[in-house]
Structure 1
Amino acid sequence: MATRLKKKRALSWEISEIRHNCNIHIKAMATRLKKKRALSLEISEIRHNCHIHIKADSLLTTLQYRDGHRK
């Protein structure tokens, strides 16, 4: 149980770190780019990539939990 909670905490911390990095990236892009259409496209792409990354991370840990319980 303790290791499970630790893993979950680690995962949520990792996700928040990814989100934080994405926000920094988006802000940096906003200051650099001036064309609104190009900017919104880039931002949505970054958010989409982050979402995929977060989903992959949570899926990976879920699979690890399942493997841990089977053994």
Structure 2
Amino acid sequence: MSKLNLLDLNRAELEAYFLELGEKRFRAEQIMKWIYHENVTDLAAMSNLSKALRTRLEPLAEIRLPR
């Protein structure tokens, strides 16, 4: 199964994705700040996300820039 590219989701879709995972809606804002303000695309480096969430996302999602 391929990983979901979080860059393919808009804010509302990202919020819905985190709600489906049982997370709070604000996780979408945290991820977007890392990507668009800090230029971070490595989920493991997103230190304000819990270690458990980062570990959970690892097999499910990625942040892949277009080639």
TM-score, with structure 1 as normaliser: 0.29
More helix by share: 1
The normalised TM-score by structure 2 is 0.30
Bigger Cα Rg: 1
Higher share of residues assigned strand: 2
